[in-house]
Amino acid sequence: MTLPHPALSATDPELAALVGAEEQLQAETLRLIPSENYVSAAVLEASGTVLQNKYSEGYAGRRYYEGQQVIDQVERLAVARAKALFGVEHANVQPYSGSPANLAVYLAFADPGDTVMGMALPMGGHLTHGWGVSATGKWFRGVQYGVRQDTGLIDFDEVRELALKERPKIIFCGGTALPRTIDFPAFAEIARECGAVLVADVAHIAGLIAGGAHPSPVPHADVISTTTHKTLRGPRGAMLMSREEHAKALDKAVFPGLQGGPHNQTTAAIAVALHEASQPSFRTYAQSVVANARALAEALLDRGFDLVSGGTDNHLILMDLTPKEVPGKVAAKALDRAGIVVNYNTVPYDPRKPFDPSGIRIGTPSLTSRGLGTEHMAAVADWIDRGVTAAGKEDEQALATIRSEVAELMSAHPAPGLAG
Protein backbone atom coordinates (compact mmCIF):
# COMPACT_ATOMS: atom_id res chain seq x y z
CA MET A 1 0.00 0.00 0.00
CA THR A 2 1.59 3.29 -1.02
CA LEU A 3 0.45 6.86 -1.22
CA PRO A 4 1.08 8.59 -4.51
CA HIS A 5 3.91 11.13 -4.37
CA PRO A 6 3.95 12.28 -7.98
CA ALA A 7 6.31 15.24 -7.67
CA LEU A 8 8.71 13.39 -5.42
CA SER A 9 8.68 10.33 -7.66
CA ALA A 10 9.43 12.45 -10.73
CA THR A 11 12.22 14.46 -9.08
CA ASP A 12 13.83 11.88 -6.86
CA PRO A 13 12.61 8.34 -7.52
CA GLU A 14 15.26 6.92 -5.19
CA LEU A 15 13.95 8.84 -2.20
CA ALA A 16 10.31 8.30 -3.28
CA ALA A 17 10.95 4.56 -3.24
CA LEU A 18 12.29 4.80 0.31
CA VAL A 19 9.20 6.72 1.44
CA GLY A 20 7.02 4.08 -0.21
CA ALA A 21 8.96 1.31 1.52
CA GLU A 22 8.52 2.98 4.91
CA GLU A 23 4.80 3.38 4.25
CA GLN A 24 4.59 -0.31 3.45
CA LEU A 25 6.54 -1.24 6.58
CA GLN A 26 4.29 0.90 8.77
CA ALA A 27 1.20 -0.59 7.12
CA GLU A 28 2.22 -4.25 7.43
CA THR A 29 3.73 -4.35 10.90
CA LEU A 30 2.29 -4.28 14.39
CA ARG A 31 3.91 -1.20 15.88
CA LEU A 32 4.15 -1.48 19.64
CA ILE A 33 6.73 1.20 20.45
CA PRO A 34 4.78 3.21 23.05
CA SER A 35 6.18 6.58 21.98
CA GLU A 36 5.08 6.15 18.36
CA ASN A 37 1.75 6.61 16.64
CA TYR A 38 0.10 7.24 13.27
CA VAL A 39 -0.85 10.83 12.52
CA SER A 40 -4.05 11.52 10.62
CA ALA A 41 -4.02 12.42 6.95
CA ALA A 42 -4.93 15.98 7.99
CA VAL A 43 -1.90 16.28 10.31
CA LEU A 44 0.28 14.81 7.59
CA GLU A 45 -0.99 17.33 5.03
CA ALA A 46 -0.55 20.29 7.38
CA SER A 47 3.05 19.33 8.08
CA GLY A 48 3.85 19.27 4.37
CA THR A 49 2.62 22.76 3.47
CA VAL A 50 4.24 25.95 2.17
CA LEU A 51 4.20 27.27 5.73
CA GLN A 52 7.70 25.86 5.91
CA ASN A 53 8.88 28.51 3.44
CA LYS A 54 8.53 31.23 6.08
CA TYR A 55 10.91 32.54 8.71
CA SER A 56 9.18 33.93 11.80
CA GLU A 57 11.61 34.36 14.67
CA GLY A 58 9.80 35.86 17.64
CA TYR A 59 6.20 35.41 18.67
CA ALA A 60 2.88 36.42 17.10
CA GLY A 61 2.76 40.22 16.86
CA ARG A 62 6.46 40.50 17.82
CA ARG A 63 8.45 39.05 14.93
CA TYR A 64 11.86 39.87 13.50
CA TYR A 65 10.68 39.23 9.92
CA GLU A 66 7.84 40.83 7.95
CA GLY A 67 5.13 38.94 6.07
CA GLN A 68 3.62 37.29 9.16
CA GLN A 69 -0.02 38.05 8.34
CA VAL A 70 -0.86 34.37 8.10
CA ILE A 71 1.82 32.74 10.25
CA ASP A 72 0.78 34.79 13.29
CA GLN A 73 -2.76 33.45 12.91
CA VAL A 74 -1.49 29.87 12.63
CA GLU A 75 0.59 30.16 15.78
CA ARG A 76 -2.16 31.95 17.71
CA LEU A 77 -4.58 29.18 16.72
CA ALA A 78 -2.21 26.46 17.94
CA VAL A 79 -1.59 28.32 21.22
CA ALA A 80 -5.30 28.93 21.83
CA ARG A 81 -6.11 25.28 21.17
CA ALA A 82 -3.35 24.06 23.50
CA LYS A 83 -4.59 26.38 26.26
CA ALA A 84 -8.19 25.24 25.84
CA LEU A 85 -7.40 21.52 25.59
CA PHE A 86 -5.10 21.34 28.61
CA GLY A 87 -6.71 24.13 30.65
CA VAL A 88 -3.52 26.17 31.00
CA GLU A 89 -2.91 29.92 31.05
CA HIS A 90 0.12 29.86 28.75
CA ALA A 91 1.39 27.68 25.91
CA ASN A 92 4.50 27.87 23.75
CA VAL A 93 4.25 25.67 20.66
CA GLN A 94 7.68 26.45 19.21
CA PRO A 95 10.10 23.89 20.78
CA TYR A 96 11.51 21.70 18.04
CA SER A 97 11.05 18.54 20.10
CA GLY A 98 11.03 17.23 23.66
CA SER A 99 14.73 17.59 24.44
CA PRO A 100 14.94 21.25 23.34
CA ALA A 101 11.72 21.92 25.26
CA ASN A 102 13.29 20.53 28.43
CA LEU A 103 16.52 22.43 27.82
CA ALA A 104 14.47 25.62 27.64
CA VAL A 105 13.10 24.82 31.10
CA TYR A 106 16.66 24.64 32.47
CA LEU A 107 17.50 27.93 30.81
CA ALA A 108 14.40 29.54 32.31
CA PHE A 109 14.80 28.36 35.91
CA ALA A 110 18.39 27.30 36.66
CA ASP A 111 22.02 28.31 36.20
CA PRO A 112 24.80 25.95 35.13
CA GLY A 113 26.01 23.96 38.13
CA ASP A 114 22.67 24.12 39.93
CA THR A 115 21.20 20.93 41.33
CA VAL A 116 18.28 19.41 39.42
CA MET A 117 16.36 16.25 40.16
CA GLY A 118 14.65 13.69 37.97
CA MET A 119 14.00 10.02 37.63
CA ALA A 120 17.09 7.99 36.71
CA LEU A 121 17.11 6.91 33.06
CA PRO A 122 17.41 3.17 33.81
CA MET A 123 14.45 3.47 36.18
CA GLY A 124 12.23 4.92 33.46
CA GLY A 125 13.23 8.60 33.38
CA HIS A 126 14.49 10.61 30.41
CA LEU A 127 17.99 11.65 29.38
CA THR A 128 17.09 15.32 29.76
CA HIS A 129 16.02 14.92 33.39
CA GLY A 130 19.63 15.38 34.51
CA TRP A 131 21.10 12.03 33.43
CA GLY A 132 24.90 12.08 33.25
CA VAL A 133 25.51 11.56 29.51
CA SER A 134 23.07 14.34 28.61
CA ALA A 135 24.03 18.03 28.54
CA THR A 136 21.53 18.38 31.38
CA GLY A 137 23.63 16.05 33.53
CA LYS A 138 26.92 17.61 32.45
CA TRP A 139 25.98 21.27 32.86
CA PHE A 140 23.81 20.76 35.92
CA ARG A 141 24.25 18.59 39.00
CA GLY A 142 21.69 15.87 38.47
CA VAL A 143 20.39 13.88 41.42
CA GLN A 144 18.15 10.99 40.59
CA TYR A 145 15.32 9.07 42.18
CA GLY A 146 14.04 5.66 41.12
CA VAL A 147 11.41 3.07 41.89
CA ARG A 148 11.37 0.48 44.66
CA GLN A 149 12.86 -2.86 43.69
CA ASP A 150 10.06 -4.84 45.32
CA THR A 151 7.10 -2.94 43.80
CA GLY A 152 8.45 -1.13 40.75
CA LEU A 153 6.69 1.98 42.12
CA ILE A 154 8.01 5.39 43.17
CA ASP A 155 8.57 5.67 46.92
CA PHE A 156 7.56 9.24 47.76
CA ASP A 157 9.23 9.13 51.18
CA GLU A 158 12.54 8.48 49.38
CA VAL A 159 11.85 11.25 46.83
CA ARG A 160 11.04 13.70 49.63
CA GLU A 161 14.15 12.75 51.62
CA LEU A 162 16.37 13.21 48.57
CA ALA A 163 14.73 16.51 47.61
CA LEU A 164 15.06 17.97 51.09
CA LYS A 165 18.70 16.85 51.31
CA GLU A 166 19.74 18.07 47.84
CA ARG A 167 17.43 21.12 47.47
CA PRO A 168 17.15 20.97 43.65
CA LYS A 169 16.10 24.06 41.71
CA ILE A 170 14.00 21.91 39.37
CA ILE A 171 12.24 18.59 39.90
CA PHE A 172 11.14 16.59 36.86
CA CYS A 173 8.40 14.01 37.07
CA GLY A 174 7.38 11.78 34.19
CA GLY A 175 9.55 9.66 31.95
CA THR A 176 9.75 7.16 29.15
CA ALA A 177 9.15 3.75 30.70
CA LEU A 178 6.62 4.37 33.47
CA PRO A 179 3.64 2.03 33.34
CA ARG A 180 1.84 3.63 36.27
CA THR A 181 -0.16 6.81 36.93
CA ILE A 182 2.05 9.76 37.82
CA ASP A 183 1.05 11.22 41.18
CA PHE A 184 1.32 14.91 40.34
CA PRO A 185 -0.07 16.18 43.70
CA ALA A 186 2.56 14.14 45.61
CA PHE A 187 5.39 15.59 43.49
CA ALA A 188 3.94 19.10 43.86
CA GLU A 189 3.93 18.82 47.64
CA ILE A 190 7.60 17.79 47.66
CA ALA A 191 8.55 20.55 45.21
CA ARG A 192 6.79 23.10 47.39
CA GLU A 193 8.57 21.82 50.52
CA CYS A 194 12.00 22.26 48.97
CA GLY A 195 11.21 25.34 46.87
CA ALA A 196 11.77 23.66 43.50
CA VAL A 197 10.05 24.30 40.19
CA LEU A 198 8.02 21.18 39.36
CA VAL A 199 8.13 20.17 35.71
CA ALA A 200 5.71 17.49 34.56
CA ASP A 201 7.16 15.91 31.44
CA VAL A 202 4.01 14.35 30.05
CA ALA A 203 5.38 13.56 26.59
CA HIS A 204 4.21 9.95 26.77
CA ILE A 205 0.80 10.59 28.26
CA ALA A 206 -0.25 13.97 26.81
CA GLY A 207 -2.92 12.32 24.67
CA LEU A 208 -4.22 10.34 27.63
CA ILE A 209 -4.46 13.56 29.66
CA ALA A 210 -6.22 15.36 26.80
CA GLY A 211 -8.64 12.46 26.50
CA GLY A 212 -9.32 12.18 30.23
CA ALA A 213 -7.57 8.81 30.58
CA HIS A 214 -4.83 10.03 32.95
CA PRO A 215 -5.05 12.74 35.67
CA SER A 216 -3.88 16.18 34.58
CA PRO A 217 -0.77 17.86 35.99
CA VAL A 218 -2.81 21.11 36.06
CA PRO A 219 -2.75 22.86 38.54
CA HIS A 220 -0.03 20.87 40.36
CA ALA A 221 2.98 21.37 38.09
CA ASP A 222 4.63 24.74 37.52
CA VAL A 223 5.59 23.76 33.98
CA ILE A 224 4.24 21.08 31.66
CA SER A 225 6.55 19.85 28.94
CA THR A 226 5.36 17.56 26.21
CA THR A 227 6.16 16.30 22.78
CA THR A 228 3.25 16.35 20.36
CA HIS A 229 3.86 13.12 18.46
CA LYS A 230 3.20 10.34 20.94
CA THR A 231 -0.25 9.64 22.41
CA LEU A 232 -1.27 13.17 21.36
CA ARG A 233 -0.97 11.95 17.74
CA GLY A 234 0.45 15.13 16.26
CA PRO A 235 3.59 15.94 14.27
CA ARG A 236 7.09 15.62 15.72
CA GLY A 237 7.29 18.73 17.89
CA ALA A 238 6.80 19.90 21.45
CA MET A 239 5.03 22.39 23.70
CA LEU A 240 5.68 24.05 27.02
CA MET A 241 2.71 25.07 29.15
CA SER A 242 2.44 26.94 32.43
CA ARG A 243 0.64 29.50 34.48
CA GLU A 244 0.96 33.10 33.27
CA GLU A 245 3.62 33.87 35.91
CA HIS A 246 6.16 31.66 34.07
CA ALA A 247 5.16 32.65 30.52
CA LYS A 248 7.85 35.27 29.98
CA ALA A 249 10.70 33.13 31.31
CA LEU A 250 9.71 30.14 29.17
CA ASP A 251 9.14 32.16 26.00
CA LYS A 252 12.48 33.93 26.41
CA ALA A 253 14.23 30.61 26.95
CA VAL A 254 12.78 29.02 23.79
CA PHE A 255 13.46 32.11 21.68
CA PRO A 256 15.96 33.73 21.65
CA GLY A 257 17.51 31.54 24.36
CA LEU A 258 17.77 28.29 22.46
CA GLN A 259 16.09 28.39 19.09
CA GLY A 260 15.79 30.48 15.97
CA GLY A 261 12.81 30.37 13.66
CA PRO A 262 9.95 28.06 14.58
CA HIS A 263 8.97 25.32 12.15
CA ASN A 264 5.69 26.81 11.02
CA GLN A 265 4.53 23.73 9.13
CA THR A 266 4.88 21.83 12.41
CA THR A 267 3.01 24.54 14.31
CA ALA A 268 0.16 24.15 11.82
CA ALA A 269 0.13 20.38 12.21
CA ILE A 270 0.17 20.76 16.00
CA ALA A 271 -2.89 23.01 15.68
CA VAL A 272 -4.65 20.30 13.65
CA ALA A 273 -3.71 17.58 16.15
CA LEU A 274 -5.00 19.71 19.03
CA HIS A 275 -8.26 20.23 17.17
CA GLU A 276 -8.55 16.47 16.66
CA ALA A 277 -7.70 15.81 20.31
CA SER A 278 -10.55 18.08 21.43
CA GLN A 279 -13.15 15.92 19.66
CA PRO A 280 -15.27 13.35 21.54
CA SER A 281 -13.76 10.58 19.37
CA PHE A 282 -10.33 11.35 20.83
CA ARG A 283 -11.65 10.75 24.35
CA THR A 284 -12.79 7.35 23.14
CA TYR A 285 -9.36 6.79 21.60
CA ALA A 286 -7.51 7.67 24.83
CA GLN A 287 -9.74 5.39 26.93
CA SER A 288 -9.26 2.58 24.39
CA VAL A 289 -5.46 2.95 24.49
CA VAL A 290 -5.56 2.30 28.24
CA ALA A 291 -8.17 -0.49 28.00
CA ASN A 292 -6.04 -2.21 25.34
CA ALA A 293 -2.87 -1.88 27.41
CA ARG A 294 -4.61 -3.34 30.46
CA ALA A 295 -6.02 -6.24 28.42
CA LEU A 296 -2.62 -6.86 26.83
CA ALA A 297 -0.92 -6.80 30.23
CA GLU A 298 -3.41 -9.36 31.58
CA ALA A 299 -2.89 -11.60 28.56
CA LEU A 300 0.89 -11.39 28.98
CA LEU A 301 0.66 -12.17 32.71
CA ASP A 302 -1.49 -15.19 31.80
CA ARG A 303 1.38 -16.35 29.60
CA GLY A 304 3.90 -16.08 32.42
CA PHE A 305 5.55 -12.76 31.52
CA ASP A 306 7.08 -10.63 34.26
CA LEU A 307 5.79 -7.05 34.00
CA VAL A 308 7.50 -4.24 35.90
CA SER A 309 5.10 -3.06 38.64
CA GLY A 310 2.86 -6.02 37.80
CA GLY A 311 0.88 -4.35 35.03
CA THR A 312 -0.09 -0.95 33.68
CA ASP A 313 -2.35 2.05 34.29
CA ASN A 314 -1.59 3.75 31.00
CA HIS A 315 -0.47 2.98 27.43
CA LEU A 316 2.82 1.27 28.27
CA ILE A 317 4.06 -2.11 29.48
CA LEU A 318 7.64 -2.79 30.55
CA MET A 319 8.52 -6.49 30.40
CA ASP A 320 11.45 -8.10 32.21
CA LEU A 321 12.43 -11.10 30.08
CA THR A 322 14.95 -12.47 32.61
CA PRO A 323 12.65 -15.37 33.60
CA LYS A 324 12.27 -16.26 29.90
CA GLU A 325 16.08 -16.41 29.59
CA VAL A 326 15.98 -14.29 26.43
CA PRO A 327 17.84 -10.92 26.51
CA GLY A 328 15.68 -7.91 25.59
CA LYS A 329 17.71 -7.09 22.50
CA VAL A 330 17.53 -10.65 21.14
CA ALA A 331 13.77 -10.64 21.70
CA ALA A 332 13.28 -7.19 20.13
CA LYS A 333 15.24 -8.12 17.01
CA ALA A 334 13.40 -11.43 16.63
CA LEU A 335 10.02 -9.74 17.09
CA ASP A 336 11.04 -7.21 14.43
CA ARG A 337 11.61 -10.11 12.04
CA ALA A 338 8.14 -11.33 13.01
CA GLY A 339 6.60 -7.97 12.05
CA ILE A 340 6.18 -6.80 15.66
CA VAL A 341 8.08 -3.59 16.33
CA VAL A 342 9.17 -2.99 19.93
CA ASN A 343 12.25 -1.56 21.61
CA TYR A 344 14.63 -3.23 24.01
CA ASN A 345 14.77 -1.39 27.30
CA THR A 346 16.43 -1.50 30.68
CA VAL A 347 14.26 -2.57 33.59
CA PRO A 348 14.74 -1.08 37.09
CA TYR A 349 17.86 -2.54 38.78
CA ASP A 350 18.83 -4.16 35.49
CA PRO A 351 22.06 -6.16 35.89
CA ARG A 352 22.62 -5.91 32.11
CA LYS A 353 23.93 -2.94 30.12
CA PRO A 354 21.59 -0.35 28.47
CA PHE A 355 22.67 -1.47 24.96
CA ASP A 356 21.90 -5.09 25.86
CA PRO A 357 19.28 -4.92 28.61
CA SER A 358 16.85 -7.40 30.16
CA GLY A 359 13.58 -5.93 28.99
CA ILE A 360 11.39 -4.81 26.16
CA ARG A 361 8.99 -1.88 26.21
CA ILE A 362 5.65 -2.06 24.41
CA GLY A 363 2.53 0.08 24.18
CA THR A 364 -0.86 0.40 22.56
CA PRO A 365 -1.16 3.93 21.03
CA SER A 366 -0.47 2.84 17.44
CA LEU A 367 -2.54 -0.32 17.35
CA THR A 368 -5.45 1.57 18.90
CA SER A 369 -5.16 4.19 16.15
CA ARG A 370 -5.69 1.32 13.71
CA GLY A 371 -8.89 0.30 15.44
CA LEU A 372 -7.67 -2.77 17.30
CA GLY A 373 -9.61 -3.38 20.50
CA THR A 374 -9.40 -5.46 23.67
CA GLU A 375 -10.69 -8.46 21.71
CA HIS A 376 -7.41 -8.48 19.74
CA MET A 377 -5.05 -8.34 22.72
CA ALA A 378 -4.95 -12.10 23.34
CA ALA A 379 -3.69 -12.57 19.78
CA VAL A 380 -1.07 -9.84 20.27
CA ALA A 381 0.11 -11.43 23.52
CA ASP A 382 0.20 -14.82 21.82
CA TRP A 383 2.40 -13.48 19.00
CA ILE A 384 4.76 -11.89 21.53
CA ASP A 385 4.89 -15.14 23.49
CA ARG A 386 5.57 -17.22 20.39
CA GLY A 387 8.07 -14.63 19.13
CA VAL A 388 10.06 -14.58 22.37
CA THR A 389 10.07 -18.38 22.48
CA ALA A 390 11.21 -18.48 18.84
CA ALA A 391 13.93 -15.94 19.66
CA GLY A 392 15.27 -18.25 22.35
CA LYS A 393 15.33 -21.18 19.93
CA GLU A 394 16.46 -19.17 16.87
CA ASP A 395 13.38 -20.53 15.08
CA GLU A 396 13.17 -18.33 11.96
CA GLN A 397 10.29 -20.35 10.51
CA ALA A 398 8.12 -19.60 13.54
CA LEU A 399 8.95 -15.89 13.19
CA ALA A 400 8.01 -15.94 9.50
CA THR A 401 4.67 -17.58 10.34
CA ILE A 402 3.93 -14.88 12.93
CA ARG A 403 4.87 -12.20 10.39
CA SER A 404 2.28 -13.41 7.89
CA GLU A 405 -0.41 -13.66 10.60
CA VAL A 406 0.40 -10.10 11.74
CA ALA A 407 0.28 -8.77 8.17
CA GLU A 408 -3.13 -10.36 7.65
CA LEU A 409 -4.63 -8.64 10.72
CA MET A 410 -2.95 -5.34 9.83
CA SER A 411 -4.34 -5.39 6.29
CA ALA A 412 -7.84 -5.55 7.80
CA HIS A 413 -7.07 -2.45 9.92
CA PRO A 414 -5.64 0.29 7.70
CA ALA A 415 -3.57 2.91 9.48
CA PRO A 416 -4.62 6.58 9.60
CA GLY A 417 -2.58 8.61 7.15
CA LEU A 418 -1.63 5.48 5.23
CA ALA A 419 -5.06 4.26 4.19
CA GLY A 420 -5.08 4.17 0.41
Q: Output 90 or 126, the one with its CB closest to ligand DSN.
A: 126
Task: Confirm whether 57 is a catalytic residue.
Answer: yes
Task: Confirm whether 55 is a catalytic residue.
Answer: yes
Q: Which of 23, 75, 201, 222 is catalytic?
A: 201
Contact 199, 171 (CB under 8 A): yes
Q: Which of 31, 180, 230, 386 is catalytic?
A: 230
Q: Output 98 or 387, the one with its CB closest to ligand DSN.
A: 98
Q: Output 177 or 269, the one with its CB closest to ligand DSN.
A: 177
Query: At closest approach, how far in Å is the CB of 129 from ligand DSN?
Result: 10
Q: Output 119 or 162, the one with its CB closest to ligand DSN.
A: 119
Query: At closest approach, how far in Å is the CB of 200 from ligand DSN?
Result: 15
Contact 182, 205 (CB under 8 A): yes
Task: Confirm whether 136 is a catalytic residue.
Answer: no
In whole angstroms, give the CA distance from residue 264 to residue 320.
41
Query: At closest approach, how far in Å is the CB of 393 from ligand DSN?
Result: 29
Q: Output 58 or 174, the one with its CB closest to ligand DSN.
A: 174
Q: Which of 76, 141, 236, 352 is catalytic?
A: 236
Q: Which of 128, 227, 228, 368 is catalytic?
A: 227
Query: At closest approach, how far in Å is the CB of 97 from ligand DSN?
Result: 8
Contact 358, 351 (CB under 8 A): yes
Query: At closest approach, how far in Å is the CB of 162 from ligand DSN?
Result: 23
Q: Which of 57, 114, 189, 395 is catalytic?
A: 57
Query: At closest approach, how far in Å is the CB of 399 from ligand DSN?
Result: 24
In whole angstroms, give the CA distance from residue 361 to residue 343.
6
Query: At closest approach, how far in Å is the CB of 291 from ligand DSN?
Result: 21
Q: Output 35 or 136, the one with its CB closest to ligand DSN.
A: 35
Contact 222, 199 (CB under 8 A): yes
Task: Confirm whether 352 is a catalytic residue.
Answer: no
Q: Output 37 or 68, the one with its CB closest to ligand DSN.
A: 37
Q: Which of 2, 28, 55, 298 is catalytic?
A: 55
Residues binding ligand DSN (CB under 6 A) = 35, 98, 126, 176
What is the C-alpha end-to-end distance of the chain, expressed in Å? 7
**Catalytic center residues:** 55, 57, 201, 227, 230, 236
